[in-house]
Chain A
Amino acid sequence: MPKAPHTVEIIVNGRSFPVDKDDITFEEVVALAFDPPPTGDNICLTVTYRRAQGNKSGTLLPGESVKTKAGMIFDVTATDKS
């Protein structure tokens, strides 16, 4: 029997958000980081997560998703300055 979804608090760019799904996608994380979300063909953002299931860290590409976990941390930026 599938587990009922529960609400967890995740952090995106330092701000806390409640999420009641088991998975969250790249696009959903970006929408939490930027309101309104950026539009355009080649928008390329660097999305990372830490303290995921199994205390794992990683990156997300467009279309990818990761399992949500209470307290997991996302960072979303356009890393194009030098």
Chain B
Amino acid sequence: MSPPPTSPDQAINRLVADGYGITLEAGHLLVHDVPFATATRTVERGTLVCPLDQAGDVVLAPSNHVMHFAGGRPHDATGQALTKIEHQTTTQELIPGVTVERSFSSKPTDGGSQRRNYRDFHEKVTTYASILAGPAQSIDPQVSPLTFRDPHIVDSVHRYHDTASSRAEITALNAKLDDERIALIGLGGTNSYVLDLVAKTPVAEIHLFDGDEFSSHNAFRTPGAAPIEQLRSRPLKTAYLAAIYDQMHANIIEHPTAVTADSIDELTGLTFAFIAIDHGPSRRIIIDHLLANEIPFIDVGIGVHHDDHVIRGQIRTTLATTDNHDHIDHRIPCQDEGPDDDYATNIQLAELNALNATLAVIRWKQHRGIYAIDEPKPHHSVYVISGNEIINEGPAQ
């Protein structure tokens, strides 16, 4: 009678119980100290690395059969390279501090010629470990991948691993953001979409600044669909949004006040700000404080009017840094009232807030070296709705 099937979720526990030295970090599984044979019939050790497939914290079956390796080129017991499993030789830093130089590809069979996928990560790891360790053991019978060291689980700001990044091999690239302490100044439509996107990055902290309540009209310009019971309870915007995104990012800090001269010091120590507020004079106080404290920021704004039976307008995204901020006086509105306040009601639409937020987040990630940006780097961009065109302005050449 065959043993009952074990669920893929138990794979990591079984590997630890077997004695493999495991680390779980940033959506990756690492298996340390795997012995392999070199070309000169000596034994060295390396690390197997592959992205995990997960649903929340539950480990699923592997979605592919590729395995990365760091530590050298493995051979068989006679000194021949294991060409049958060699896949690619690309050096890449999968996680900060973990650089692999090659990958293997081998699909299991059940004895016949028919290849299948790995049932779980236990089978995937033990298969590759034995392909590498077998030749090593014929050279030195004492060696084994079973080192019985304690498993190591690396903490993350996220409540479950970002396996989207690990599968795409951009974990190390995204880790450039893990020192950021972000301020979202204003939690209206645009910054609620910014929060939605920034919460999915590994920034160290996200600080929310807004003193207003979350009402029905806000629900129609915020990601997701607010439950009616939540609206009835009249939560503050900071509380409503923090509760949602805390499910994913563990370091969301609420500041349930507008940023004014009295509360401006709460911005000190932060590393980047997204300013999305309606009140011009407050903007001036905030911008002066950010520049004085060398905190770069992006200011956004939508200007839309409704006449001739159609809506037209513009969406602005302005970046300011310590060495490039001369443009902001003419780009960022700091007046008390704009002409649109006389001529039109405050029209905002969810898709415009979302587009403004998306453009702002992309520009921030370009500033942090995650997305490419051509010279001369624009510090100001305007999306014109009726032209479906983005117009960029940068420093004078």
Contact A48 B186 (CB under 8 A): no
Contact A82 B330 (CB under 8 A): no
* Residue among B330, B336, B348, B386 with max Cβ neighbours from chain A (10 Å): B330
Chain A residue at minimum C-beta to C-beta distance from B338 = A78
Q: Which residues of A contact B343 (CB under 8 A)?
A: 34
Q: Is the interface of A mostly helix, strand, loop or mixed?
A: loop
Q: Is the interface of B mostly helix, strand, loop or mixed?
A: mixed
Please measure, in the bound complex, the distance between the C-alpha atom of A58 and the C-alpha atom of B393, giving whole angstroms.
7
Q: Which residues of A contact B380 (CB under 8 A)?
A: 59
Contact B335 A81 (CB under 8 A): no
Contact A81 B278 (CB under 8 A): yes
Q: Which residues of A contact B300 (CB under 8 A)?
A: 82
What is the count of residue pairs linking A and B with beta-carbon distances less than 8 angstroms? 117
A5 interface contact, C-beta 8 A: no
Q: Which residues of B contact A77 (CB under 8 A)?
A: 303-305, 313-314, 340
Please measure, in the bound complex, the distance between the C-alpha atom of A50 and the C-alpha atom of B389, giving whole angstroms.
9
Q: Which residues of A contact B310 (CB under 8 A)?
A: 14
Please measure, in the bound complex, the distance between the C-alpha atom of A75 and the C-alpha atom of B280, giving whole angstroms.
21
Residue total for A at the interface (Cβ-Cβ under 8 A)? 28
Having A44-B333, A50-B387, one finds 20 other A-B pairs with CB under 8 Å, namely A37-B339, A44-B335, A45-B333, A46-B303, A46-B382, A48-B314, A48-B384, A59-B393, A75-B312, A75-B384, A77-B305, A77-B314, A77-B340, A78-B338, A78-B340, A78-B341, A81-B302, A82-B278, A82-B353, A82-B356
Which residues of A does B touch, CB under 8 Å? 13-15, 34, 37-38, 40-46, 48, 50, 57-59, 61-62, 73, 75, 77-82
Shortest beta-carbon contacts, A-B, top 9: A77-B303, A78-B338, A82-B276, A79-B316, A79-B301, A82-B190, A79-B303, A38-B339, A44-B333
A-B contact pairs, 14 of them (CB 8 A): A41-B335, A44-B331, A44-B333, A45-B339, A50-B387, A57-B389, A57-B391, A62-B330, A75-B387, A77-B303, A77-B314, A79-B302, A81-B302, A82-B356
